[in-house]
């Protein structure tokens, strides 16, 4: 059969196709996704499940005049294919290539750069209000949201507002596959489950929205019909579509844990990763937390819909009554952790560092204000890589540095990860432990100590390099280059980077130049705190990431661009010494 994809460059091309060709097109798109995402890595299962919905959306609505926004934009690959970006998939998630999320820079069909969950309904509410106030035309505003995203509180804040404005048409396309990363949890999930079995009065109708469905989310004709009905209602309406994550690809359908939600470079025939399996920081954390759980019955774990990616799945299997998945609800996770801590337990809340931003108020006012023993474990801290600016975990040190009583640890290797996690859960106040998305490197043993700070190497006291966490390895490389050029260089790992420890204060006292190196924002992180305690005769150089939204690329590429390699650190120190000689 003649292929169709090469002839589809715009949604107009799609709308011109006869209906009888659409099932074949859906199969082509799935084959294309499997080939391209297997080659590059990326989000596969979520996109395989939304093929028919996206086709129907672009046949019924006229993007970009009709606004279509995707909640958690990793489900927008099919949208990209149908809006003229098919050729870009050879560069998917690479430096300078096609983004793995909607991107306003890429296309007029992308109205926002959505990649954090539960926000699309609020965007749609504001866009509909904006059109009303500015005298815009009667075009539709459509928000595509998953059932997993409805576990996030901001989605219900938006629904509360959408339902109260019955004259303002916003179409909520609910892509219900029963999952986010993991199965969807909570009362909302139970309610949707009952609706799948038998239509009844819905919570959406109680809030003032119309409800259409449930409809088979893989039946294009049925989807087009219900979407046209929704458009003609000219009122806020929920279109409930039932889909299967990973639909049409057996390896994804058989992967019961995540349905191949996100994959590395993979063999498309089997769905199995290519290349050797490596131990990651996340694996090391998972093992150590289980070991601690055996010894401490007061230890409980909390995940915000990501038990597997954050390493808590193993703890949940070992201690099923002591692990809580609260859904995509980081604010609730931290406030609930505060309640658990008030009850005499020690909660460990494991989240991606980028998602800690969503719970800043709870960290400050619910945990720290009450001086509660809650441990935050921040996976994907620093530069994350191909997921781009929304997923780099580069703001955590800056945010936590202003929280009174907060202690933050940054292990340089997995041996220190085990030590510091044990110290964290033994502490009687709030703590955080951060580590990157990366393979675990070699152990970097200490050559000595100053208080609770580790001295990693020392050839003199001209320059003191303070290495934050995984920056220890490139700092040691830089120190070797500088020592070979005749400088006396000492490298120290503070282990606990916030607040500035007595041991680090002592180490700083004997050095004329102090250089801090971190994979967080240089101007306002751990280095900035250390600068405040240095004496008037000391020169301080803070190296780290710029205060900017950093694009996608591999972790090694982006760290190199920021100068956070051995060579880059040595160059920055030499340059500073030329300006401020010792």
Residues 34, 102, single domain; the answer is yes
Q: Which of 358, 416, 495, 555 is catalytic?
A: 358
* In-domain check, residue 428: yes
Give me the pLDDT at residue 363, please: 98
| 148 annotated among ligand-binding-site residues | yes
| 177 annotated among ligand-binding-site residues | yes
Give the domain CATH number at 479.
Answer: 3.40.50.920
Give the domain CATH number at 104.
Answer: 3.40.50.970
* Strand order from edge to edge, sheet including 496-498: 323-325, 299-303, 346-352, 375-379, 431-434, 407-409, 496-498
Contact between 325 and 182 (Cβ < 8 Å): yes
Residues 322, 196, single domain; the answer is no
Question: 41-59, pLDDT tens digit by residue?
Answer: 999 999 999 999 999 999 9
| 47 annotated among ligand-binding-site residues | no
In Å, how far are 111, 152, 180, 315, 360 from 157, measured between CA atoms?
21, 9, 20, 32, 18
Give me the pLDDT at residue 258, please: 79
Residue 97's CB is within 10 A of a number of other CB atoms, namely 17
Give me the pLDDT at residue 358, please: 95
Question: Is there a catalytic annotation at residue 358?
Answer: yes
| 330 annotated among ligand-binding-site residues | yes
Question: Is there a catalytic annotation at residue 322?
Answer: no
* In-domain check, residue 425: yes
* In-domain check, residue 131: yes
Give me the pLDDT at residue 259, please: 81
| 116 annotated among ligand-binding-site residues | yes
Residues 247, 385, single domain; the answer is no
Question: Is there a catalytic annotation at residue 245?
Answer: yes
Q: Which domain holds residue 484?
A: 448-579
| 117 annotated among ligand-binding-site residues | yes
* In-domain check, residue 441: no
| 249 annotated among ligand-binding-site residues | yes
Residues 76, 217, single domain; the answer is yes
Give me the pLDDT at residue 284, please: 96
Q: Which of 93, 179, 245, 434 is catalytic?
A: 245
* In-domain check, residue 275: no
For every residue of 472-496, DSSP letters joined together read HHHHHHHHHHHHHTT--EEEEE-SE
* In-domain check, residue 443: no
> Residue 482 phi/psi, 5° resolution?
-70, -40
Give me the pLDDT at residue 536, please: 80
Give me the pLDDT at residue 182, please: 75
Q: Which of 330, 407, 412, 518 is catalytic?
A: 330
- Helix, strand or coil, per DSSP, at residue 574: helix
In Å, how far are 80, 147, 451, 472 from 110, measured between CA atoms?
9, 22, 53, 40
| 335 annotated among ligand-binding-site residues | no
Residues 290, 257, single domain; the answer is no
Task: Name the domain boundary from 234, 265, 296.
Answer: 265
Identify which of 121, 7, 29 has the alpha carbon closest to the alpha carbon of residue 76. Answer: 29
Q: Number of structural domains, the chain? A: 3
In Å, how far are 9, 108, 111, 142, 218 from 61, measured between CA atoms?
16, 15, 15, 9, 18
Question: 103-160, pLDDT tens digit by residue?
Answer: 999 999 999 987 889 999 999 999 999 988 988 767 899 999 999 999 999 999 999 9
Give me the pLDDT at residue 1, please: 52
The ranges of the chain with pLDDT < 50 are none
Torsion, Cα 177 182 188 194, to 10 degrees, reads 50
Give me the pLDDT at residue 139, please: 87
């Amino acid at each position: 059969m003649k292929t169709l994809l090469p002839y589809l460059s715009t949604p107009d091309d799609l709308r011109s196709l006869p209906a009888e060709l659409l099932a074949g097109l859906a199969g082509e798109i799935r084959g294309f996704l499997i080939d391209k995402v297997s080659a590059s890595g990326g989000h596969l299962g979520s996109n395989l499940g939304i093929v028919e919905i996206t086709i129907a959306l672009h046949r019924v609505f006229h993007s970009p005049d009709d606004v279509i926004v995707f909640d958690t934009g990793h489900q927008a690959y099919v949208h990209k294919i149908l809006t003229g970006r098919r050729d870009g998939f050879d560069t998917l998630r690479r430096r300078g290539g096609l983004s793995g999320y909607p991107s306003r820079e890429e296309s007029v069909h992308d109205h926002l750069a959505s990649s954090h969950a539960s926000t699309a309904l609020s965007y749609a509410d504001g866009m509909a209000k904006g059109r009303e106030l500015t005298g815009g035309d009667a075009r539709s505003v459509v928000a595509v949201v998953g059932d997993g995203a409805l576990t996030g509180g901001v989605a219900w804040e938006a629904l509360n507002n959408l339902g109260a404005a019955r004259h303002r048409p916003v179409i909520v396309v609910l892509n219900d596959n029963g999952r986010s990363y993991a199965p969807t949890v909570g009362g909302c999930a139970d309610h949707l489950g009952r609706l799948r079995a038998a239509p009844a009065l819905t919570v959406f109708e109680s809030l003032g929205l119309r409800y259409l469905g449930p409809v088979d989310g893989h039946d294009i004709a049925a989807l087009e019909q219900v979407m046209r009905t929704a458009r003609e209602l000219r009122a806020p309406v929920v279109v409930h579509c039932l889909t299967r994550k990973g639909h049409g690809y057996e390896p994804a359908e058989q992967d019961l844990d995540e349905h191949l939600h996100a994959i590395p470079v993979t063999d498309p025939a089997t769905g199995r990763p290519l290349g050797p399996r490596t131990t990651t920081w996340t694996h090391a954390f998972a093992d150590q937390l289980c070991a601690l759980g055996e010894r401490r019955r007061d230890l409980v774990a909390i995940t915000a819909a990501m038990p597997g990616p954050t390493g808590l799945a193993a703890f949940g299997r070992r201690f099923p009554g002591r692990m809580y998945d609260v859904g995509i609800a980081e604010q609730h996770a931290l406030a609930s952790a505060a309640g658990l801590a008030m009850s005499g337990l020690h909660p460990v809340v494991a989240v991606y560092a980028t998602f800690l931003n969503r719970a800043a108020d709870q960290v400050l006012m619910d945990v720290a204000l009450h001086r509660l023993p809650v441990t935050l474990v921040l996976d994907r801290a620093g530069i994350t890589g191909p997921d781009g600016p929304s997923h780099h975990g580069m703001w955590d040190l800056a945010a936590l540095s202003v929280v009174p009583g907060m202690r933050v640890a940054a292990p340089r290797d997995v041996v220190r990860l085990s030590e510091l996690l044990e110290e964290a859960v033994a502490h009687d106040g709030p703590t955080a432990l951060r580590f990157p998305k990366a393979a675990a490197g070699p152990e970097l043993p200490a050559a000595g100590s100053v208080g609770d700070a580790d001295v990693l190497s020392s050839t003199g006291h001209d320059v003191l390099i303070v290495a934050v966490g995984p920056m220890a390895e490139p700092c040691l490389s830089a120190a070797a280059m500088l020592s070979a050029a005749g400088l006396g260089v000492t490298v120290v790992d503070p282990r606990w980077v916030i607040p500035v420890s007595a041991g680090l204060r002592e180490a700083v006292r004997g050095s004329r130049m102090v250089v801090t190196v971190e994979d967080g924002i240089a101007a306002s992180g751990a280095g900035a705190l250390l600068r405040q305690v240095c004496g008037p005769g000391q020169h301080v150089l803070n190296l780290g990431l710029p205060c900017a939204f950093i694009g996608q690329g591999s972790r090694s590429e982006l760290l190199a661009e920021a100068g956070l390699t051995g060579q880059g650190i040595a160059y920055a120190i030499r340059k500073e010494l030329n300006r401020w000689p010792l």
